[in-house]
Structure 1
Amino acid sequence: MSVKHAISRGLELGRSVFQLGLLKSGGRLAAKLRADRFRAGPSVRTAQPQAFLPSRYRYYRTSLKGLAAQLQSAGFRRFAGGSPRNRAVFLAFGLGVGLIEQQLEDDRKSASTCQEIQAVFRKKKFQAPLKPFTSGFKLEDYILGNQIGKGSNAAVYEAAAQFAPPKQSARKCSLVQIKEDEVETEAPRSLTCCSLRNFPFAIKMMWNFGAGSSSEAILKSMSQELVPAGPHALKQEKEEITLDGHFGVLPKRVSAHPNVIRVYRAFTADVPLLPGAQEEYPDVLPPRLNPAGLGNNRTLFLVMKNYPCTLRQYLEMSTPSRRQGTLMVLQLLEGVDHLCREGVAHRDLKSDNVLLEFDSDGCPRLVISDFGCCLAQSDSSLQLPFNSIWVSKGGNASLMAPEVATAVPGCGVMLDYGKADAWAVGAISYEIFGQQNPFYRAVGLESRNYQEKQLPPLPSTVPADVQFVIRLLLRRNPNKRPTARVAANMLHLSLWGRKALANQDSVGMRKLADWLLCQSAMVLLKGCQGPSGNRVEAELQRSFLANLELEDLRTAVGFLLYGREQSQACVLSV
């Protein structure tokens, strides 16, 4: 046996012995930790990467370099009179142990890099799209315009604040005018021609059937609508309401995020007779406005920013480019990840509940809205006891994740929404790329019984990495489905980190850490230049860097490399 061959065998032996022996229990621990990350609920972030070995192997975990040196020294002493082959094998065995320590050291450095980058970008708070104001807690403070939307539980009207007169603009335009302008210019960006300066706000009037007419009862019954409310949305005296006979703070609220709607004001008021009310929703009016109406006199009003259209309306008029489509899917994933991190499941994600505007480059910016069906419990577990058929599973049944749609009520049964919204993003992605949603009636698949091989193919123009991410999101088994964070990381790496992934394996992260530092410097530099900081791509890059976690990043790299290997194998087989 040659010395080269002996060293090779020693390296292999050293690594395998420690991985199968000392590292066996550590592997179980690491697997459990990864599984915990994929479960619902807030993840526990630590200052150091999770160890590969349990506490009883603390000596080996913290001083593997010293162990390697001892093995090498003992090998020379014990086998000084032995054959050169034995000495080489034992020396290589110690070197193999040293390689494990090198891997741990690389992980520590990579984790430290992620934490430093994360700390820098988390200090940069997202600025709300509208300037803060101090008034506007009464319906009389606003001038209401035309109706711009109507759902199953509310109507939405454009509005302007009387305490802040709107700037004069050339004209208002409806969706019909938008379509006409688009035909004339043949450009998707023509949607931005619709001036929102006269009515910068949108007021959502909830329909109140059984909540009573007291402010406390209304706020309690419709508290889910307040999840995206800002810190000063309610008057100070309304911040505490009566809950089952006790005063308690209103349900949790999510912090500001560029892809989640923001509620600026929330108040109760008498239901007014607005234009089109008698024709479009007479049954929900109170008897004082319609003798046959079933509604109560007072209801909840929410003040938000006015957006040009919904995602569904935009896709009916325009087809986003290949890159824009990828950015749109990525924005939905970033919004869902933000909600999951704050312990909220939307449960009614669909293209009608996603609002859309454009940045300075004409790229669509998506905003998740309508939280009337959301799950926002105090324990942040994203799990709901399902002990009765009367427990609501959520909103749109067509886009209900398989694990929720197939759940059967019983003692101890829990509905897990940890990855349900991510699954819905996968289904909506078909619409973004110009296809019919496979879970609507036109295609005929049902989330409760579809097979993954039944999913229709996406257009060939969709990037391979994006197609792979969508397929992963639509996996039936939630344990095999990535979280919204991991899926978002995959798209980030596909868009901006292709060079960093070249010749990269799923373990070594040094090259990727160097790329992250360069990317951070570029994003900070662009932010200092001003206007570029408001662009969709800049927002996405900042969000990615603010949520860096070593394990999530490594999982995303592993998925991407696996997907590319599968694609290459398919090409070779053809």
Structure 2
Amino acid sequence: MSVKHALSRGLELGRSVFQLGLLKPFGRAAAKLRADRLRVGQPARTVQPQAFLPSRYRYYRTSLRGLAAQLQSAGFRRRFGAGSPRNRAVFLAFGLGVGLIEQQLEDDRRSAATCQEIQAVFRKKKFQSPLRPFTSGYKLEDYVIGKQIGKGSNAAVYEAAAPFAFPKESGSRCSLVELKEDEDEGQTARSLSCCSLRNFPLAVKMMWNFGTGSSSEAILRSMSQELVPAGPLALNKEREQITLDGHFGVLPKRVSAHPNVIRVYRAFTADVPLLPGAQEEYPDVLPARLNPDGLGNNRTLFLVMKNYPCTLRQYLEVSIPSRRQSTLMVLQLLEGVDHLCRQGVAHRDLKSDNVLLEFDSDGCPRLVITDFGCCLAQSDSNLQLPFNSIWVDRGGNASLMAPEVATAVPGAGVVIDYSKADAWAVGAISYEIFGQRNPFYRAVGLESRSYQEKQLPPLPSSVPADVQLVIHLLLRRNPNKRPSARVAANMLHLSLWGRKALANQDSTGMRKLADWLLCQSAVVLLKGCSGPSGNTVESELQRSFLSNLELEDLRSAVGYLLYGREQRPACILSA
């Protein structure tokens, strides 16, 4: 806003306040004479002081108007309305300041409207499943079971195939991993190649059933957390309603589809079969009919998902992603966590073993959060868990438990807030993504309940400064000083694609950034219409960013980035 325009706005506002309440009858008479004169001459714009601030600023409007009234009234009494030069200067400064505030609020309204319009456009574009929709597959006999590809503390995973489900793209990667070492200028580059995903595009997860019973209702009720990422057709229609807490109700909360969250296509109960490797890998969980010493029940829950080549941990053990790919991997985890938080779900067991990985058409790793057995998915969506007893489950994986969760002491009225716990875990996993040991695994020695931020090991110098800032902010002990997953994701988005927009940006005015968002939206829309390039990881991330635009989150991200750049090369953790 130019100085001339600001002075004009200040004078108009000051004149309006003067007319409405400062000289009372004289002001009303002057206003009437001025209005009569303006009807004949050139029309002029008048400003109503009640309109320049929203209702929430009513206190400031009244207080400032009262102060101006006292100043001008004193000046009028001394000089019959002319006012002393000092009083006139103060009054003009008041009007000028209010004019600047009004202009700032108008810019904010425009920026917020721009964000809402962009958000509405991209939220209409639903995430498409990588598998062709199918209407059958509610029985274990519908699938051909292959080799075991994973085993955890509560389930075993097998590759599977079905005649009614095939990948949309014939060039999909496989579930068997082969390592190849290529010598290039003295450096070893490791890559993953695929062998059999075309034959086994699906994965079947068989849950282990101890003490739940063999009725379908009891199994679904006990393992309902595994159904949080289930699709709308995952359960057969007669299983859509089950008994919950003694009432005949609907299934627990389910999250909508997202490119960085696993999708469960089918969920059904069936008799436990004797699958390959069962007697050697998990004999104790088998039912007595398969193993006389087994402790498992006859029936259990089966989940059908897409088959992925490997976990994040397996990938990082044999491959070194580029700096940009590593940044995109951290960003994908933040987008997935933000998607869950927006729908009232906390994963509570986020680690590199619970993140699956595949590759897009450009060879960039695509990450998918899986294993929701420990998640918190309450109906009120506030991500707060009453912690009144030591028997309350705080979640899995104590090594990557956020400080506010690890240090919670049970008692009357105690509540654990999980809204930023998963974001903290992403900060810890980021060390692994950038080639370092996770500082919170027991072999390293740091504990989330007692560490100090200055004890965090430095990241490699090759990691971009903005990314280091994000990771260090995510690992702050105080959750009130820690950015949310959405704000942290926005910081990485702006660092990757909005550097020019941030060059002359400040933390208050968002007008330049709003113009950049409009250009970015047009670019992303054109990419989506141009074929395969719209299905890459970068395109998916840009769509996620634009579909979740909110002015306050964006302003927070800009503020963090500008503050971090001002503090360099000072230590980030001292903030």
- TM-score > 0.5, shorter chain as reference: yes
SS in 1 for 2:265: strand
Q: Distance in 1 between matches of 2:337 and 2:173?
A: 33
Distance (whole Å) between structure 1 residues aligned to residue 130 and residue 169 of structure 2: 20
Aligned-partner Cα distance in 2 for 1:70–1:140 = 84
| Aligned twin of 2:563 | 562
Q: Which residue of 2 aligns with 1:122?
A: 123
RMSD of aligned Cα (Å): 3.1
Residues 1:182 and 1:268: Cα distance change in structure 2 (over 3 Å)? farther
2:258 maps to 1:271: no
Q: Write the deviation string for residues 268-319 of structure 1: whole angstroms up to 9, x where unpaired.
A: 0010101110001000000000000000000000000000000000000111
Aligned to 1:35: none
Q: Is 2:435 aligned against 1:434?
A: yes
How far is 1:82 from its partner? Answer: 4.6
Alpha carbons 2:75, 2:83 under 8 Å: kept: no
Secondary structure of the residue aligned to 1:149 is: strand
What residue is the counterpart of 1:537 in the other structure? Answer: 538
Q: Please state if 1:225 is matched with 2:226.
A: yes
TM-superposed deviation, 1:533: 1.1
* C-alpha displacement of 1:412: 1.1
What is the SS of the residue equivalent to 1:449? coil
Q: TM-score, with normalisation over the residues of structure 1?
A: 0.85
Structure 1 residue 56: deviation in Å? 7.3
Contact 1:486 1:553 in 2 (8 A): yes
Q: How does 1:305-320 map to 2 (within 5 A)?
A: 305-320=306-321
| CA displacement at 1:245 relative to structure 2 | 3.2
**What's 1:546 paired with?**
547
Structure-to-structure mapping, 1:342-421, within 5 angstroms: 342-421=343-422
Alpha-carbon deviation of 1:165? 7.5
- The alpha carbon displacement at 1:525 in A equals 1.0
Opposite residue 544 of structure 2, the aligned amino acid is S
Task: Tell me, in whole angstroms, the C-alpha distance in 2 between the residues paired with 1:296 and 1:169.
Answer: 39
Q: Distance in 2 between matches of 1:567 and 1:318?
A: 31
Aligned counterpart, 2:202: 201
Q: Corresponding residue for 1:492?
A: 493
Deviating more after overlay: 558-567 vs 73-82: 73-82
Identity of aligned residues (%): 83
Q: Which amino acid aligns with 1:178?
A: E
Partner of 1:178: 178
> Alpha-carbon deviation of 1:208?
0.4
State the secondary structure of the residue aligned to 1:440: coil
Question: Is 1:458–2:459 an aligned residue pair?
Answer: yes
Q: Structure 2: how far apart are the matches of 1:379 and 1:520?
A: 33
CA contact (8 A) 1:182 1:191 kept: no
CA distance in 2, matches of 1:167, 1:424: 33
1:477 counterpart residue number: 478
Count of residues in Structure 1 that have an aligned counterpart in Structure 2: 521
Return the alpha-carbon distance in structure 2 between the equivalents of residues 73 and 531 of structure 1: 68
Distance 1:168 1:543, change over 3 A: closer
Counterpart of 1:150?
151
Q: Does structure 2 retain, via aligned residues, the 8 Å contact 1:168–1:197?
A: no
Corresponding residue SS for 1:293: coil
The CA deviation string for residues 322-367 of structure 1, in whole angstroms up to 9 with x for no partner, is: 1111100000000000000000000000000000001110000000
Q: State the 1:416 CA deviation.
A: 1.1
Equivalent AA in structure 1 for residue 302 of structure 2 = F
Contact 1:68 1:97 in 2 (8 A): no
Q: Once the 2 structures are TM-superposed, how far is the Cα of residue 244 of structure 1 from its aligned partner?
A: 3.4
How far apart are the structure 1 equivalents of 2:471 and 2:415? Answer: 26
Using a 3 Å threshold, how does the CA distance of structure 1 residues 99 and 149 change in structure 2: closer, same or farther?
same
Instruction: For 1:228 and 1:441, locate their aligned partners in 2 and report how far apart those are by CA, in whole Å.
Output: 30
Please, what TM-score do these two structures have when normalized by structure 2? 0.85
Confirm or deny: 8 A CA contact 2:311 2:356 kept in the other structure: yes
C-alpha change, 1:540 and 1:77, in structure 2 (3 Å) is: farther
Q: After TM superposition, where is structure 1 displaced by more than 3 Å over at least 4 residues in a row?
A: 51-56, 58-61, 66-89, 162-175, 182-190, 192-195, 568-571
In structure 2, do the counterparts of structure 1 residues 324 and 222 end up closer, same or farther at CA, with 3 Å as the change threshold? same
Amino acid at match of 2:210: F
Q: What is the distance in 1 between the residues matched to 2:565 and 2:173?
A: 48
Cα offsets for 1:382-413 (capped at 9, x unmatched): 11111111111101000000110011111111
> In structure 2, how many angstroms separate the alpha carbons of the residues matched to 1:168 and 1:262?
18
Q: Where does the alignment leave 5 or more consecutive residues of structure 1 unmatched?
A: 15-50
Compared CA separation, residues 502 and 301, structure 1 to 2 (3 A): same
Give the drift of 1:164.
4.8
Superposition deviation, residue 252 in structure 1 = 0.4
For residue 505 of structure 1, what is the amino acid of its counterpart? D
Describe the superposition over 1:528-557 as per-residue Cα deviations: whole angstroms up to 9, x where unpaired: 111111000000000000000111110111
The residue type paired with residue 101 of structure 1 is E
Match of 1:211 in 2: 212
Report matched runs for 1:10-409 at 5 Å: 55=56, 57=58, 60=61, 81-82=82-83, 84=85, 86-164=87-165, 175=176, 178-179=178-179, 181-182=180-181, 190-409=191-410
Q: Which amino acid aligns with 1:200?
A: P
Q: What is the alpha-carbon distance in structure 2 between the residues aligned to residue 70 and residue 98 of structure 1? A: 17
Q: CA deviation at 1:53?
A: 6.4
Give 1:415 deviation, angstroms. Answer: 1.4
2:349 partner SS = coil
The amino acid across from 2:255 in the alignment is: V
**Cα distance in 2, alignment partners of residues 443 and 170 from structure 1:** 40
Inter-partner Cα distance in structure 2 for 1:552 and 1:55: 21
Aligned equivalents of 2:107 and 2:68: distance in 1?
A: 19
Distance 1:170 1:73, change over 3 A: closer
Matched residues in 2 for 1:114 and 1:68: separation? 37
Q: Distance in 1 between matches of 2:169 and 2:553?
A: 48
- The aligned residue for residue 425 of structure 1 is 426
Provide Cα deviations, 1:499-544, integer angstroms capped at 9, x if missing partner: 1111211101111111111111111111111111100000000000
Q: Matched residue of 1:129: which SS? A: coil
Structure with greater contact order relative to length (CA < 8 Å, sep ≥ 6): 1
Given that 1:263 and 1:302 are in contact with CA atoms closer than 8 Å, whether structure 2 keeps it comes out as yes
Cα 1:123–1:173, aligned 2, differ >3 Å: closer, same or farther? closer
Alpha-carbon distance change, 438 to 52 in structure 1, aligned in 2, over 3 angstroms: farther
Shift of 1:167: 11
